[in-house]
Amino acid sequence: VILDLLRAEDLEAALTLSTAEGWNQTAADWRRILRLGPAGCFAARDGGRLVGTVTTTTYGTELAWIGMMIVHPELRGRGIGATLMGKALDHLQSSGIATVKLDATPAGRPLYESLGFVAETAMERWQGVPAGVAPPQGRPDDTPGAPFVLDRSAYGVDRTSLLELLLADTAVDPMVNASGSAPPTGFALARRGRLATYIGPIVATNPSTARQLLVEALTTFAGEEVCLDLHQGSHLSGETLATHGLSKRRVLTRMSHGPRTDSAISRAICASAGPEFG
């Protein structure tokens, strides 16, 4: 098995790997990940066959996110996952990135712990079909610069390049919470997934804005399958999600490697941009 860069022509096979895991990513998701980090996404190949992937997305030089860590089921337990992870970490170190984070599945967590990652918080996957509960309460985004400023202060690092791509690709109107000329107190995005529409990120500076954004999103998608990764301990509670017909499906562990920072774990980060992005 050899390791090299993941390329556009690998993405069909990469989607086959993530689909076999039951993951929600689409071909568009894979393209977006590769576009954000073409020099930091790696492939494991057995002959001509793609048998493993890992991706990295960098936010400035302070933080990078690792995602899409998959090894073909037939080839697990032979060190391919550890080698892919080493390749990703070497790449990030040589790019001068200080801290690396990821959202670990139970299958990935032992590997990451052995490499020095430590648990920081939990992300709960909630999924279901929301019933229509209330009319939309937010308003369309007429202050396009504002979500970036809000996100930067809430998340702790600059995610503009990711948010720009999510905004460009969004299948729904972004939801921004603001009144009059006041700066927004929250925003939410959503995109179509393979199995469910993925709501996220949801960023809000207080619980009532978080709830309002969530209700607006659930109303927008009433009757459709949706999912989101709720940040446990954030301004958004699981109770609100349960009330609207969603149920908790699994828990991912948000883990960190390198100098500790509060980026990606403030209470204002209510729902993830995706396990692959943080």
Ligand X SMILES: CC(C)(COP(=O)(O)OP(=O)(O)OC[C@H]1O[C@@H](n2cnc3c(N)ncnc32)[C@H](O)[C@@H]1OP(=O)(O)O)[C@@H](O)C(=O)NCCC(=O)NCCS
- Footprint on this chain of ligand X (rule: CB under 6 A): 21, 69-71, 76-82, 104-105, 107-108, 110-111, 114
The smaller minimum CB distance to ligand X, of residues 70 and 92, is found at 70
The smaller minimum CB distance to ligand X, of residues 71 and 217, is found at 71
The smaller minimum CB distance to ligand X, of residues 89 and 178, is found at 89
Residue nearest to ligand X (CB): 81
User: Rounded CA gap, 189 and 167, in Å?
Assistant: 8
Strand partners, 119: 255
Least distance CB 69 / ligand X (angstroms)? 4
Strand partners, 58: 64
Torsion angle of the four alpha carbons 16, 58, 48, 70, in this order, in degrees rounded to the nearest 10:
-40
Amino acid at position 232, single letter: Q
Least distance CB 100 / ligand X (angstroms)? 13
Least distance CB 4 / ligand X (angstroms)? 17
Burial class (CB in 10 A: 0-12, 13-18, 19+), 270: buried
Contact 197, 28 (CB under 8 A): no
The smaller minimum CB distance to ligand X, of residues 28 and 82, is found at 82
Least distance CB 153 / ligand X (angstroms)? 28
Contact 227, 196 (CB under 8 A): yes
Least distance CB 132 / ligand X (angstroms)? 34
The smaller minimum CB distance to ligand X, of residues 51 and 217, is found at 51
